[in-house]
Amino acid sequence: MKRVSHLTALALLVGLTSSCAGAADMAASVTLQQLQQRSGIAIDTRQSAFYNGWPQALNGPQGHEPAALNLSAGWLSAMSDEQLAEWLKQHKLAADTPVALYGADRETRAVSARLQKAGLKHISALADALAEPQRLQKQPHFEQLVYPQWLRDLQQGKKVAAAPAGEWKVFEAGWGTPKYYLLSHIPGAGYIDTNDVESEPLWNKVPDDKLKALLAKSGIRHDTTVILYGRDVYAAARVAQILLYAGVKDVRLLDGGWKTWSAADLPVGRGMPEKMTPAPDFGAPIPGQPQLMLGLEQARALLHRRDASLVSVRSWPEFIGTTSGYSYIKPKGDIAGARWGHAGSDSTHMEDFHNPDGTMRSADDITAMWKAWNITSDQQVSFYCGTGWRAAEAFMYARAMGWQHISVYDGGWYEWSQDAKNPVSRGERGPASSL
């Protein structure tokens, strides 16, 4: 029998003790009713797709426990201690707040360990998690944000939840030539250059006849399900929103874009896209949903109203006029009377809307963020940014959340700032400035 040194034995004992302590912490369990009686919070440790409403197995339960937060175990490696502390602060979780975790055993243990390290003292397992499907909450249109394994299963001909009703196609969307696509892309995906859906001088949507030509070339009819992804989510969102305007009935985004496919370690294609079989006819008038794209005067009509919001999806420095955000847009400031819808740190980021893995932040978080600026789902809401990309991403998230009366002001700040007669605001200001 192999001898074990005293130091090795001590190390093994410490490790075993630590492991048992962690197991003991999670051995305690409470029901949802017990947790609520203690004013506690449930935390879903699964990936956001399942939290949002995708079933983990066909015909399985869908959604998350009432008022549960989503802290996916898969995010932990991307979250510093400081970022986790900020997440806890945002969600008003203090050291003495009772929390109950649910998800796979390995997921809950990983999250429990990080929460303990962050100072939380009362961590339990949720004993009856997902046991009562009728009480679960989900995004009204969770299916509009697909996840990598669902798409892979669809490609392999497996039965999937929320399957396309008919023919479907996958496209990568990006600006210019497909240089990254050539090196790696989702197998079978086509490629759409954003230059084919928007054009100078203001980078607005192309005329409808050019849009019709792109759809025909890409083999897209009004009843084709189109699944889009991008290296940047907002590139795919820009194309998606324009396809919806054109009249494509079922347009979906890969939540988190190429990053999530790559992280899932799924197969990768290389080289030029396969030639698409052209569609002889779109099968419906274009545009099918003209109300999804607003012009300048329509946008102006939404200002200073309680039943409507013109929403700036720009960084705070852009909103207050510290920077224009673009090398080719010189004027600084923002539309006077617009409400700030958040975005990210600059004109190329959307962190305010993203989980640590790049997927859409929870609907509750986004709703609260918008409500603070008097932006609510019962209003007529139109999003804009500099030239449309970030606005389109916010639009697609609102659509998944079930918001009904939404659109994109296509011209955005670029168009508005071209005319000195259009009112502009600069400097620090709050929600009251839009009333």
pLDDT in tens, 293-335: 999 999 999 999 999 999 999 999 999 999 999 999 999 999 9
pTM over the 0.85 mark: yes
CATH of the domain at 112: 3.40.250.10
In terms of Cα–Cα distance, which of 302, 293, 313, 291 is closest to 379? 302
Residue 71 placed within a domain:
yes
Asked whether residue 284 falls in the same domain as residue 295, the answer is no
Supply the range of the domain harboring residue 364. Answer: 291-433
Q: Do 307 and 281 fall within a single domain? A: no
Which positions are annotated as active-site residues?
385
* Residue 3 belongs to some domain of the structure: no
Give the dihedral of Cα atoms 213, 218, 219, 225; nearest 10 deg.
-110
Average pLDDT over residues 194-211: 96
Query: Has residue 13 got a pLDDT over 60?
Result: no
231 and 243, same structural domain? Answer: yes
In a domain, 414, yes or no: yes
Query: Which pLDDT value is given to residue 276?
Result: 85
Tens of pLDDT, residue by residue over 341-351, are: 999 999 999 99
Residues 152 and 270 in one domain: yes
Same domain flag for 279 and 185: yes
Query: Of 265, 288, 311, at which residue does a domain stop?
Result: 288
**Residue 25 reports pLDDT greater than 90:** no
Q: How confident is the model at residue 274 (pLDDT cuts 50, 70, 90)?
A: confident
On whether both 352 and 426 belong to a single domain, the answer is: yes
56 and 117 in a common domain: yes
Number of compact structural domains in the chain: 3
Q: What is the pLDDT of residue 305?
A: 96
Q: For residue 396, what pLDDT band results from cuts at 50, 70 and 90?
A: very high
Q: 428 in a domain, yes or no?
A: yes
Same domain for 304 and 406, yes or no, is: yes
What is the Cα 176 distance to its own chain's centre?
24
Once rounded to an integer, what is the mean pLDDT over residues 256-262? 98
- Do 422 and 318 fall into the same domain? yes
Mean pLDDT of 378-400: 98
Do 113 and 198 belong together in one domain? no
CB 74 within 8 A of CB 357: yes
Is residue 252 a contact partner of residue 228, using CB atoms and an 8 Å limit?
yes
pLDDT value at residue 27: 54
Q: Which of 25-29, 96-100, 213-217, 391-395 has the lowest mean pLDDT?
A: 25-29
58 occurs within a structural domain:
yes
Nearest-5° angle of CA 170, CA 198, CA 393?
A: 60
Please report the pLDDT score of residue 4 as a whole number.
38
Q: Is residue 283 part of a domain?
A: yes
Q: Taking 50 as the threshold, does the pLDDT of residue 16 lie above it?
A: no
**Final residue of a domain: which of 225, 253, 288?**
288
318 in the same domain as 227: no
Say whether pLDDT at 371 is over 90: yes
**Residues 143-170, mean pLDDT to the nearest whole number:** 98
For residue 26, what pLDDT band results from cuts at 50, 70 and 90? low
| Residue 327 located in a structural domain | yes
Q: Which of 63, 96, 126 is the last residue of a domain?
A: 126
Do 188 and 319 lie in one domain? The reply is no
Average pLDDT, the chain: 93
Beta-carbon contacts of 331 under 8 Å, excluding residues fewer than 6 positions away, are 324, 417, 424
> What is the predicted pLDDT for the residue at 298?
98
